[in-house]
Amino acid sequence: MTTLWFVLLIIGAYLLGSIPTAFLVARWRRGIDLRHHGSGNIGVSNVVAAGSRWSSLIVIVVDLGKGMAPVLAARQINLPTYEQVIIGLAAICGHNWTVFLRFNGGRGVLTMLGVIFGLAPGWLAPLLTVIAFAFLPFGLFSVGVLVTLLLLPILSWFSAGAFGIERSVALTMGFVAMTGLLLVRRLTAKRTELSATVSTGELIVNRLLFDRDIRDRKAWIKQSATSNGANGLNGNGAEKTNGAG
């Protein structure tokens, strides 16, 4: 019976994570296809860029819940930690590769944060949130996200007691996997025309640190919007993103 619940929760977590909150909210509030606006990213940062700041609050709450709910459900029925981790990863994969938009989703930052809150209900997740947002005033939120995810497995293993969480190999490896998912999502985006003159090494650095192909954020968003409008890119088109999603 436990195995059945585990399988059902994996499927449920993926489908819940697949709900493209930002896409739906932008359609509802602004009547736009978020893939054809701003950075083209299906995430909260692009909802803000599309001029719907208050609507972004809906996206934040729902995307956090998409990650937290299935993990808390797994905890409620006393599934082991490693199964909770797998269920959380399924929710993140659903957000990143949503079945409802031809497997073209966001970066999963908020959903990932929801999973972390569910797996480690102590001071760890709030601390990491503060660290990530400390980079926001400098326009380096993507760097902050990367830094926090690199710190996550280290803190969960070496400082578990200080944060009121269990020191667990499964938990730490799950956090390593989350970092891997973020890096894969950033690095596997289709190369754009804007990066035609950018070397492969510089492209990798730009994507890892800034989550875009070029350093200039304003030019990236402006050119992305122009390109999206001209070419009518859909879910199979080039992904152009920056920030949380």
Residues 123-169: tens digit of each pLDDT: 888 888 899 889 888 888 889 999 999 999 999 898 887 777 878 89
% of the chain surpassing 70 pLDDT: 86
Domain ranges (residues) in the chain: 2-188
Q: Which residues contact 105 (CB under 8 A, 6 or more apart)?
A: 18, 20, 42, 94, 95, 96, 97, 98, 245
Separation CA 106–CA 85 (nearest Å): 20
pLDDT band, very low/low/confident/very high, at 229 (cuts 50, 70, 90)? very low
Across the range 9-16, mean pLDDT stands at: 97
pLDDT at residue 225 is higher than 60? no
Mean pLDDT of 184-201: 81
Q: Best-predicted range by mean pLDDT among 11-20, 31-40, 56-65?
A: 11-20
Q: Over pLDDT 90: what percentage of the chain?
A: 41
Highest mean pLDDT among 141-155, 182-196, 224-238: 141-155
